[in-house]
């Protein structure tokens, strides 16, 4: 339908052009006196100039149309090739970008996995620490209870002993051990003897030793002088 309309328009334009050319040629001949017929449409159908212009015009238009169509096809083909190469280049570029993004995504996944492992390890450590803290708190509470029980027991025992001894003192029935007192006195005297020996006997022995050393030196010096003097 498109080509039919185009062909009709071309015939109409070329026919109108051929008609006007044939009319102009006939008018020139009429003015020169080469013909005495007035121009009419029936003369156009019998005029060879009309058909020549019509045929050559149609040939030129059809040739131009064919050349134009071929040129448009070539341009479309070139544009298609250019678009194809461009699309191929863009596709390669997109593939490169995709590969780069996939590599970065893989690196991010690896980093995320490492972080997850690290987080899990930290969670396990925190859990162990919580268990240790709970165990320590339990042990501390147990020891506190044990110390408190021991304290209460010793306190109770001491209070009972104190109460019993006070009752004995009040009733003058306090137990007195002579053997224990003699042992305490013996220990005191032994300590006192050691103290006196350390602070007095040692000092006296040092003084006596120093005096003995001085006497030895005096004796040596006197004997050496006597040995040096000649005998008469």
- Tokens 């339908």, residue? 1
pLDDT band at 232 (very low <50, low <70, confident <90, very high): very low
Return the pLDDT at 81. 62
Q: Are 18 and 51 in contact (CB under 8 A)?
A: yes
pLDDT band at 196 (very low <50, low <70, confident <90, very high): low
189 domain-assigned = no
194 domain-assigned = no
182 domain-assigned = no
**Measured distance CA(176)–CA(174) in Å, rounded:** 6
212 domain-assigned = no
Return the pLDDT at 139. 80
pLDDT (mean) for 18-44:
77
Instruction: Name every residue whose Cβ is closer than 8 Å to that of residue 23 and which is 6 or more positions away in sequence.
Output: 39, 44
21 domain-assigned = yes
Give the model confidence (pLDDT) of 83-130 as tens digits: 667 777 788 888 888 888 888 888 988 889 988 888 888 888 888 888
Q: Which domain holds residue 61?
A: 2-94
pLDDT band at 2 (very low <50, low <70, confident <90, very high): low
104 domain-assigned = no
52 domain-assigned = yes
Quote the number of domains for the chain. Answer: 1
Mean pLDDT lowest among 27-41, 129-143, 151-165, 174-188: 174-188
12 domain-assigned = yes
Q: Is residue 227 predicted with pLDDT exceeding 70?
A: no
Model-wide pTM > 0.75: no
Average pLDDT, the chain: 75
Cα distances from 136 to residues 144, 148, 200, 202, in angstroms, run 12, 18, 57, 57
Instruction: Name every residue whose Cβ is closer than 8 Å to that of residue 159 and which is 6 or more positions away in sequence.
Output: none
Give the model confidence (pLDDT) of 143-164 as tens digits: 777 777 776 777 677 677 766 7
């Amino acid at each position: 339908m498109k080509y039919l309309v185009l062909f009709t328009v071309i015939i109409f334009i070329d026919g109108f052009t051929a008609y006007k050319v044939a009319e102009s040629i006939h008018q020139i001949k009429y003015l020169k006196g080469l013909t005495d017929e007035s121009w009419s449409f029936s003369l156009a159908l019998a005029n060879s100039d009309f058909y020549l212009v019509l045929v050559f015009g149609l040939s030129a238009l059809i040739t131009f149309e064919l050349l134009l169509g071929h040129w448009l096809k070539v341009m479309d083909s070139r544009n298609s090739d250019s678009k194809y190469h461009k699309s191929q280049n863009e596709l390669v570029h997109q593939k490169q970008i995709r590969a780069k993004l996939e590599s970065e995504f893989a690196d991010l996944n690896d980093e995320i996995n490492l972080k997850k492992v690290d987080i899990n390890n930290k969670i396990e450590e925190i859990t162990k620490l919580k268990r240790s803290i709970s165990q320590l708190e339990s042990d501390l509470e147990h020891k506190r209870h044990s110390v408190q029980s021991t304290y209460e027991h010793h306190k109770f025992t001491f209070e009972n002993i104190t109460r019993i001894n006070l009752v004995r003192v009040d009733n003058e029935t306090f137990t007195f051990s002579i053997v224990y007192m003699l042992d305490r006195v013996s220990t005191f005297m032994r300590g006192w003897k050691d103290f006196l020996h350390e602070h007095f006997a040692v000092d006296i022995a040092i003084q006596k030793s120093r005096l003995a050393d001085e006497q030895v030196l005096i004796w040596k010096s006197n004997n050496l002088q006597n040995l040096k003097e000649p005998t008469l």
